[in-house]
Structure 1
Amino acid sequence: MVNNSKLKKIAEELIGMSLSKFSSSQLKLKNHSKNNRLYYFIANDNKEYALKSYSKDKLHETKRLDVEFESLNYLFNYGKFNIPRPIARNNKENCGIYSWINGEKVNNICEKDVHQVVNFISNLFEVSRKKESYNLPNAKEACFSADVMVRQIFSRYNLLNKVSPFYNDLAEFLRDDFEPLLTPLVNITKKKYKYLNLNFNTEIPHEYKILSPSDFGFHNSIRNLNGELYFIDFEYFGWDDPAKLVGDFLLHPAIEDINFKLNEWKLFYKFIKKIFDFDNEFHSRLLLNLPLLSMRWSLILLNEFLPNNWERRVFSGEKKSRATVLKNQLKKARKYTRLVRWSINSDEKNFLSENYIDNFYLKSFN
């Protein structure tokens, strides 16, 4: 692990001048990442910067640094986005320097915030249509078909199942909460796809795809002094299905800590449908995949049961004991399996209605 004095020296070398202040950003902005450490510094040019130190392990190495730095650079060159500006990077030490965004974590959502998020997604879609974008990589765990999403769910399940003999509460969750839902959900989803004459296994055409931050939402935004939202964390950026981008935005666990009311949810959904109205299957694909995404999130929340993931969380500064964290994550995971159970038991005829999406919101926040 690189210590603070060495990181300060790296920062000075990268920007070519000495620093007047260098400290952990947690003192300045409570926007905690589970994968990285963030530092705030002021250089002798009186400008504010962020130094992001990425956790390093055999699975990720320097890729997250490269993806974030290059994607932000691309968006700066080809669009107008409220994002940090990439300044410099050191691949050997796995850290990057970005412009500092002064502001606060977003807690209460208003109509203006919804418009800003929708505009950001709309701008992403516009940039996605540029010919320069076509050779960019896929987002991490992109899902271009329901079949791919199901295979990802099984892959995550298998990883957790391997370590479940060492954790009785995890084994109980998988046996009693997760496994009884998986096969019925997949079968019902396939049935609904067939009913709508959609292909469960076929990848969506490229013209329907979008460049996605992949971990996009109010939880990864900062409200500056003028009320503008800036969006951060592009470590998993790349091509994805916009239905997955929107579904993850609506279902992200961090939304529990944000006052995102039903009226704002409905407004967001109304505008999003307009952006993608050229894709006749977008609306159906989103609603059909919400339960699958919920199952996926129930497993993502349990990443800390896996050794590498816990090490990254410790690297980022986690202070709670592992036992406490695992207990809390299991509680959150059960919320998603309850949501899936409700969707399986709901009236199949109403799964494309406005009431369905409203109820999905209401159930997901209870």
Structure 2
Amino acid sequence: MTSCTTCSTVEAIRLASALLGEPVELALPVAGGGNNRLFRVQGRAQKSYALKFYPRQEQDPRDRLGQEFAFLRFLHQQGVTGVPAALAMDPKNGCALYDWIDGVMIQAPGAGEMEAMLHFLERLHVWRHVPAAQQLVAASDSCFSPQAAVSQLGHRLARCREVAATEPALQTFLDEEFTPVSRQVLLLARQIPGYAQPLPLSARTLSPSDFGWHNALRRADGEVIFLDFEYAGWDDPVKLVADVLWHPGMDLPESLARQFLEGAKKIYDTSGAGGFGRRFDRLQPVFGLIWCLILLNEFLPERWQRRVLAGRTDAREEVLARQLSRARQRLERILDKS
């Protein structure tokens, strides 16, 4: 079995050739693969493909390879071209082959790019009725009730506190800043009507998860391409929208945040009764707190190990200080919105 930490270009060529069914002569490591390792490989006629490795972790049993591959296959069955085509997968070696898409990161998104995001989400919401959609799994960390969101927050906080005993800066932040705000937010969240009641299937949506400009490219012809669906699946649209607005990779100006939220209300408030908007207003602070803790994941040994497996070499102390600062900024935003 190949490990993505030790996979050489020779091994990448061997695996890509087997997946493609034809000789591959070139494999180039690609920087910026997040928690995964990525190679650009070339087959016949200089055609490029993406060979993506998904590092396995005992502490994280999720099948990110299978989840992304199945979701992309579903999208292509619906005729979507603005995502990579899933070509072949190798579960034993934890890798898959996709079409390579040339493009540039979206550095200065505007209203047009936001409309592309909303259009993509609108199509996903329509496709939830397609029979094949029922074969897709729940999105990673999906939440189908307010109680589930509060429970997820509690689990993340408990794990964070386990490591805080040896991280004084983290301990101080949790005790003196995070806890007072979370008490206030949770008091209100537990008063939400239907607190423990699961969201009806008809109100759920297909979520790309981890959705935003950090996982998108703009092609030379202007088309926006969306990438990275390893956490995608069924979810509450409130969580999907809140995640986009809280994600540090987005950091939207007020005008674009308003455009996104108003567009989302039109997509998900299908009854016209404003139910989505009311649930969003009540649950958004909970997801904001969850994002504070997600930003602190690098304090967790298993998450740091994932960075190492992906070949990232950032200095640990610098990363932890930066993430703590980002979490503090998110907490201040929650206070501003409360």
TM over 0.5: yes
2:229 to 230, 234, 237: 234
Q: Is the 8 A contact 1:12 1:19 kept in 2?
A: yes
Residue 7 (structure 2) pairs with residue 3 (structure 1): yes
Counterpart secondary structure, 2:87: strand
Counterpart secondary structure, 1:166: coil
CA displacement 1:162-218 (0-9 Å, x = unmatched):
111111111111111111122221112334x3xxxx322211110010011111111
CA displacement 1:48-95 (0-9 Å, x = unmatched):
100111111113457111111111111111342511001111111101
Aligned counterparts, 1:324-339, within 5 A:
324-339=318-333
CA displacement 1:260-295 (0-9 Å, x = unmatched):
433333222222221123143111111211111110
Residue 259 (structure 2) pairs with residue 255 (structure 1): no
- Per the TM alignment, residue 340 of structure 1 is displaced from its structure 2 partner at its CA by 2.2
Aligned counterparts, 1:196-275, within 5 A:
198-256=193-251, 260-275=252-267
Aligned counterparts, 1:1-366, within 5 A:
1=3, 2-4=6-8, 5-26=10-31, 32-60=32-60, 63-191=63-191, 193=192, 198-256=193-251, 260-279=252-271, 280=273, 281-344=275-338
Q: Which 5+ residue runs of structure 1 have no aligned equivalent? A: 27-31, 345-366
How far apart are the structure 2 equivalents of 1:327 and 1:215?
23
Counterpart secondary structure, 1:318: coil
How far apart are the structure 2 equivalents of 1:262 and 1:62?
35
Q: Is the 8 A contact 1:88 1:96 kept in 2?
A: yes
Distance verdict in 2 for CA 1:46–1:34, change over 3 Å: closer
TM-score by length of 2: 0.93
Letter of the 1:293 counterpart: F
How far apart are the structure 2 equivalents of 1:244 and 1:146?
10
How far apart are the structure 2 equivalents of 1:123 and 1:158?
37
Q: Is the 8 A contact 1:79 1:127 kept in 2?
A: no
Q: Is the 8 A contact 1:291 1:339 kept in 2?
A: no
TM-score by length of 1: 0.87
CA displacement 1:275-320 (0-9 Å, x = unmatched):
1231431111112111111100000111111111101112223222
How far apart are the structure 1 equivalents of 2:153 and 2:259?
30
How far apart are the structure 2 equivalents of 1:163 and 1:272?
37
Distance verdict in 2 for CA 1:184–1:270, change over 3 Å: closer
How far apart are the structure 2 equivalents of 1:136 and 1:87?
18
CA displacement 1:16-61 (0-9 Å, x = unmatched):
22224210122xxxxx243101111111232110011111111345
Counterpart secondary structure, 2:46: coil
123-132 vs 95-104, which deviates more?
A: 123-132
Q: Percent identity?
A: 31
Q: How many residues align?
A: 331
Distance verdict in 2 for CA 1:37–1:297, change over 3 Å: same
CA displacement 1:304-344 (0-9 Å, x = unmatched):
11111101112223222111111110000111211222333
Counterpart secondary structure, 1:271: helix
Q: Is the 8 A contact 1:80 1:123 kept in 2?
A: no
How far apart are the structure 2 equivalents of 1:81 and 1:211?
17
How far apart are the structure 1 equivalents of 2:321 and 2:198?
37
Distance verdict in 2 for CA 1:173–1:275, change over 3 Å: same
CA displacement 1:146-174 (0-9 Å, x = unmatched):
11101000000111111111111111111
Q: Is the 8 A contact 2:16 2:51 kept in 1?
A: yes
Q: Is the 8 A contact 2:127 2:133 kept in 1?
A: yes
278-287 vs 137-146, which deviates more?
A: 278-287
Counterpart secondary structure, 2:92: coil
Q: Which 5+ residue runs of structure 2 have no aligned equivalent? A: none
How far apart are the structure 1 equivalents of 2:75 and 2:117?
16
Letter of the 1:275 counterpart: I
Could you list the structure 1 runs, at least 4 aligned residues long, displaced by more than 4 angstroms after superposition.
Answer: none
How far apart are the structure 1 equivalents of 2:89 and 2:73?
12
Letter of the 2:283 counterpart: N
236-245 vs 44-53, which deviates more?
A: 44-53
